[in-house]
C-alpha cells in the first residue's frame, strides 16, 4: 500500500476514525492524536497489509487496539489535567452525531467505566452496528459469551443512568 492509497484512505475514513477514537477517549485532542497514530501505524504495517482485506476494517482494528491501549494506560496512570476538551453536553461532538449532548456524555461515561475489552464490544455493537454474530467472528468469542457481555454492558448503562454525574 503506497502513499496515494493511504491518502485516499485518510480522506475516506479519517473522520469516522476520529469519531471512533473520540467515542473511546472522550477528548477531542486525544482523538486527533489517536487518528494520527492510527495512520502512522498503518504506514508501518503497510507491508503486512493483505489487499483482499477491507482497508477500513483494518484501520478500525488499528484504532480499536490503540484506543484500548490508551485506556489501559489511563487506568494505570490516572492524570487529572485540563479537561476543557472532554465530551460535555453542547460540545462540538453534537454537530457530528444525532444523539443529544446528554446522551453523548452518558455514552462517554459508560465507555470510560468499562474494562477496555468491554469498551471495544460496546463501540463495535452500538457505534458500528455489528451483530452479535459479527462480534463473535471479530473477537473470537462465542455468540453466547457476546450476548452475556452485552447484557452486562447494558446493565452497567442502567446503573450509570441511575447514578448522578459527579459534580451535579
pLDDT digits (tens, 9 = 90+) for 51-83: 777 888 889 889 988 998 888 888 777 655 444
- Backbone Cα Rg of the chain: 16
CATH number 1.20.140.160 is the correct assignment for the domain at 3-162: yes
With 0.85 as the threshold, say if the pTM is over it: no
State the SS3 of 49-62.
CCCCCCHHHHHHHH
**CA separation for the pair 15, 32 (Å, rounded):** 10
Packing angle of the helix pair 101-113, 143-162 (nearest 10 deg): 120
Query: 38: part of which helix (H) or strand (E)?
Result: helix 28-45
pLDDT digits (tens, 9 = 90+) for 133-168: 988 988 899 999 999 999 999 998 888 888 776 665
pLDDT digits (tens, 9 = 90+) for 73-126: 887 776 554 444 443 333 333 333 444 556 667 777 788 888 888 988 888 888
Is the CA virtual torsion 7, 13, 14, 15 positive or negative? positive
**CA separation for the pair 153, 124 (Å, rounded):** 12
Amino acid at each position: 500500500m503506497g502513499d496515494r492509497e493511504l491518502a485516499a484512505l485518510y480522506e475516506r475514513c479519517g473522520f469516522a476514525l476520529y469519531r471512533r477514537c473520540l467515542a473511546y477517549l472522550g477528548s477531542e485532542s486525544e482523538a486527533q492524536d489517536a487518528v494520527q497514530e492510527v495512520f502512522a501505524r498503518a504506514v508501518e504495517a503497510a507491508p503486512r497489509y493483505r489487499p483482499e482485506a477491507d482497508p477500513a476494517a483494518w484501520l478500525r482494528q488499528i484504532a480499536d487496539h490503540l484506543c484500548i491501549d490508551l485506556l489501559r494506560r489511563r487506568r494505570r496512570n490516572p492524570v487529572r489535567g485540563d479537561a476543557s476538551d472532554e465530551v460535555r453536553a453542547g460540545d462540538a461532538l453534537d454537530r457530528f452525531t444525532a444523539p443529544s449532548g446528554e446522551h453523548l456524555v452518558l455514552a462517554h461515561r459508560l465507555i470510560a467505566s468499562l474494562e477496555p475489552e468491554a469498551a471495544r464490544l460496546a463501540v463495535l455493537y452500538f457505534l458500528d452496528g455489528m451483530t452479535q454474530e459479527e462480534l463473535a467472528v471479530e473477537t473470537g468469542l462465542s455468540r453466547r459469551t457476546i450476548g452475556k457481555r452485552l447484557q452486562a454492558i447494558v446493565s452497567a448503562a442502567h446503573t450509570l443512568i441511575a447514578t448522578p454525574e459527579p459534580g451535579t
